[in-house]
Structure 1
């Protein structure tokens, strides 16, 4: 399938009658007029199964899902799989698995079925052929048999014109051959209007995007709607499917904005009403570069493998271009939200303009909060224990049971960013502390005296132990006393209170670690 701005193998650049910039001044809706639909919205997520689902695509799916659910509508999945050469074997299943893991329930789709099936474009060829023929018969599309060489020459000559034109085809086949016989290997071109209609983007206002022409050597934006292999281009199949499936709102990336005039023109050619469009900003890195796989566009299920919770992912993703309404003016609402919260609060009115910068530490912030919420809820805690226990059992060599893991999670709930922190940061609970490898500069100078006194005290009343040490060493600060004890018991790593840590490691291990630390000192 052709990509944004591509037509018959050539790239099309669009210009506005005004300077084209979403950051510039646009004709927008009256101030304070709501753009949130008051009737149920039918939205769709239409990925190409050419790779695993990543953050940018999930955000598009999430916004469409939230709009549908917040208005009592339906969310559709449609697979745009006509680019057969680029399909990846497990990509379709990955899309399903990723959406399911994130809690995005599909109302209609390839597996779910629905009144407008099939929901795979590769299974809708007869439908596209019907509408291509309709356009050809009405004179709004035509067959083209120009060779690749001729099209390349046209493209090169267009760049040499003064001024250069951003559209390249000379409409030769329309003028010479549109009444002649055609064969299966000919492409079909849409006969574009002389002037594209302006359109309204709900978020950005009215847009009037026109190709740049050279009037002395007129070329046309007659983009391909059916390729020589009989498969439709993205532009054509997208319009046909959205209309037939009753899509009311299309939320998609800003990169599709320049293609929207083509889509509007196709709707007008059929006499159909287009859906409402919302073009959302790009996801960018902190360096303001478009997010790619190399620059942090993370595979969704890879997050699961790293211990990230689905509610943290949807929370993280939702705030890339949207924010909840402030209940009290001037006072920020909590950014920590479940999927249910997002549905309840989502509105197109609070979408934000400008590129959204992805910060990984924000994902960990949300994960920490959602993990704590799970730990604090008994049923969720049991599910967490059941899912994590096999892995926990493996790296602790089967030494502990599920009840111990549950106790451990409760004890560490305030300090875990992901559940994998248990093994990556707090492994000292299960493994011997290597006191000899700890930097001496990190050990308080009074550690030996503190631990010597501590080993002879009854640790069952820890506060009393601290009082005794304070009396014996009046010049030693309390923070140095605690630091000394942590050096012995955890190698200096914090995250759980010392009395809880003693309880988790047990009395035998507690005494053993004190003695080992003293031996090193």
Structure 2
């Protein structure tokens, strides 16, 4: 009987959730949903010295913001708990004893100083070993006596008892060449403080929880041989593995918590849309789907040399990947994503692609009445806070503003700053406003454009304003003045907004409404003399 599909995202609580972690969680979410399975959040907190208070809450908030809803984990009881490794220590001790009882592991009583001296001696001898197995041949009586005497010990895997095991192909990197030579001699499984190493805890938990697929970062490729040894030593069936290539900064450097702007909370605070960030991360490394999947890689080489593309297709049967700026919702990503289409090379996260995706996700939202309404309601409190004296913050009005600006908004906060004249009178004293005035030759030309237009707009019945063809009115009045269209429209734009860019002048008038449009044109007409003092 086939086990139900279950994946896991297993971060350590050592700081804020970062983009690499979010991408790992995302791919677990995508793969679980694509296969009709579930995924859980497991907190790997056995290294108390590195734990940072508030990290778990930050991880959960970041996942919730991105719409990655785990099925089991902290705050969501399930059949696999507890979901904190620090609460599962008895389990690790039980399995460590099983290995001791079968000879697959042994106790080592060497002190830290002794181990350091041994490593140095072996290195001077030119040996690849990191430990001389001094404690391997202790008798059961000697081990029991020293344990009873309270001597501290660690538990090591006995790699001189190689278990029979198979190496299933990685779902991304394919077949991996054996890299046992890169492992330390008899790796530590249980530390002297009775806390497990990552390797023991991870293997035990993945087995006990029924994890069918382990999707994690490329940095864990060198650990695969050790983990497979543990599965074989326990006589467990290993899960399917997939290792995600590392994300790079635009300059080619590795993304890290210490370098660059990689904290998810930074993206939240700057107003990026979660669906755009998810889209951006999903497209990173989404390459050609190679159905043959016949490549062979060394885990050691893959982790150190994967910035060159080793995924050249060896099969003629391939599926094209989406363009790196294809706008996709999470359900669309789940529908089309395939792990075998992830390239082996490390992927650069280009911020300009996020800008493009964010802008187009917003425009997608605005294309439906439901999405437009939701965005207006979401932004209304921020607009009111930014413009406390404004009488132009109603939801119907905000929807008009959003539609007028939609192609100009890269992020949601841009609504606050792109066109302030929609929420307050224009600032005619700003450098931008004064620069616009210099593009209008004279006081007389300003009024030549403004006054006849003002009279014409006043004559439009107020009840007809919404449907009136204001653009035609402006075109006709411009023609009557004999002024170049650029000069005429600059006058109108200056009078209405005081800014050189924005929606078209007719659009601005439609959003402002007749009353505010006339008030601003009248105000500009009364003040134009101030802007040309040399003509006074």
Normalised by the shorter chain, which TM-score bucket?
0.7 to 0.9
1:159-238 pair list within 5 angstroms: 159-162=123-126, 165=128, 167-176=129-138, 179=141, 180-181=143-144, 182=147, 183=150, 185-193=152-160, 198-212=167-181, 221-238=185-202
* Distance in 2, Cα, partners of 1:140 & 1:186: 16
CA offset digits 1:289-339 (Å, max 9, x no partner): 10023544532233222221211121111111225979x977956711111
Aligned length: 474
Distance change (3 Å), C-alpha of 1:367 and 1:236:
same
2:450 to 438, 451, 455: 455
CA offset digits 1:169-222 (Å, max 9, x no partner): 111111235652224731111112477965521221221233549xxxxx9621
1:469 and 2:475 matched: no
For the 8 Å contact 1:453–1:469, the answer to whether it is kept is no
For the 8 Å contact 1:325–1:345, the answer to whether it is kept is no
Q: Which position in structure 1 is the counterpart of 2:345?
A: 354
1:63-462 pair list within 5 angstroms: 63-162=27-126, 165=128, 167-176=129-138, 179=141, 180-181=143-144, 182=147, 183=150, 185-193=152-160, 198-212=167-181, 221-322=185-286, 335-399=326-390, 400=392, 401-431=394-424, 432-435=426-429, 437-438=431-432, 445-448=439-442, 450-458=445-453, 460=457, 461-462=470-471
* Distance in 1, Cα, partners of 2:320 & 2:130: 52
CA offset digits 1:7-64 (Å, max 9, x no partner): xxxxxxxxxxxxxxxxxxxxxxxxxxxxxxx996321100111211111100000001
1:520 and 2:531 matched: yes
1:29-68 pair list within 5 angstroms: 41-68=5-32
* Distance in 2, Cα, partners of 1:450 & 1:250: 72
The Cα of 1:358 is off from its aligned counterpart by: 1.1
Structure 1 vs Structure 2 CA RMSD? 2.9
The Cα of 1:359 is off from its aligned counterpart by: 1.4
When Rg is computed on C-alpha atoms for both structures, the one with the higher figure is 2
For the 8 Å contact 1:283–1:355, the answer to whether it is kept is yes
For the 8 Å contact 2:188–2:197, the answer to whether it is kept is yes
For the 8 Å contact 1:48–1:79, the answer to whether it is kept is yes
The Cα of 1:254 is off from its aligned counterpart by: 0.7
Deviates more, 1:174-183 or 1:301-310: 174-183
The Cα of 1:511 is off from its aligned counterpart by: 3.2
Q: Which position in structure 1 is the counterpart of 2:504?
A: 497
* Distance in 2, Cα, partners of 1:57 & 1:514: 58
Distance change (3 Å), C-alpha of 1:223 and 1:290:
same
Which stretches in structure 1 are left out of the alignment for 5+ residues? Answer: 1-37, 214-218
* Distance in 1, Cα, partners of 2:261 & 2:238: 31
The Cα of 1:148 is off from its aligned counterpart by: 0.9
Partner secondary structure for residue 458 of structure 1: helix
Q: Which position in structure 1 is the counterpart of 2:308?
A: none
1:511 and 2:504 matched: no
* Distance in 1, Cα, partners of 2:212 & 2:429: 65
* Distance in 1, Cα, partners of 2:321 & 2:354: 23
For the 8 Å contact 1:447–1:481, the answer to whether it is kept is no
Which stretches in structure 2 are left out of the alignment for 5+ residues? Answer: 291-317, 458-469
* Distance in 2, Cα, partners of 1:69 & 1:159: 49
TM-score (norm: length of structure 1): 0.83
Distance change (3 Å), C-alpha of 1:220 and 1:74:
closer
* Distance in 1, Cα, partners of 2:319 & 2:158: 51
* Distance in 1, Cα, partners of 2:473 & 2:184: 88
Distance change (3 Å), C-alpha of 1:302 and 1:510:
farther
* Distance in 2, Cα, partners of 1:335 & 1:76: 29
* Distance in 1, Cα, partners of 2:340 & 2:229: 27
For the 8 Å contact 1:45–1:64, the answer to whether it is kept is yes
Partner secondary structure for residue 43 of structure 1: strand
The Cα of 1:275 is off from its aligned counterpart by: 0.9
CA offset digits 1:369-404 (Å, max 9, x no partner): 111222222222222222221111011115232322
For the 8 Å contact 1:50–1:88, the answer to whether it is kept is yes
**Whose helix proportion is higher, 1 or 2?**
2
* Distance in 2, Cα, partners of 1:191 & 1:331: 45
The Cα of 1:495 is off from its aligned counterpart by: 3.0
For the 8 Å contact 2:409–2:418, the answer to whether it is kept is no
The Cα of 1:446 is off from its aligned counterpart by: 4.0
Distance change (3 Å), C-alpha of 1:380 and 1:193:
farther
For the 8 Å contact 1:411–1:496, the answer to whether it is kept is yes
* Distance in 1, Cα, partners of 2:530 & 2:288: 57
* Distance in 1, Cα, partners of 2:181 & 2:371: 58
Partner secondary structure for residue 315 of structure 1: helix
Structure having greater relative contact order (Cα 8 Å, sep ≥ 6): 1
The Cα of 1:128 is off from its aligned counterpart by: 0.8
TM-score (norm: length of structure 2): 0.81
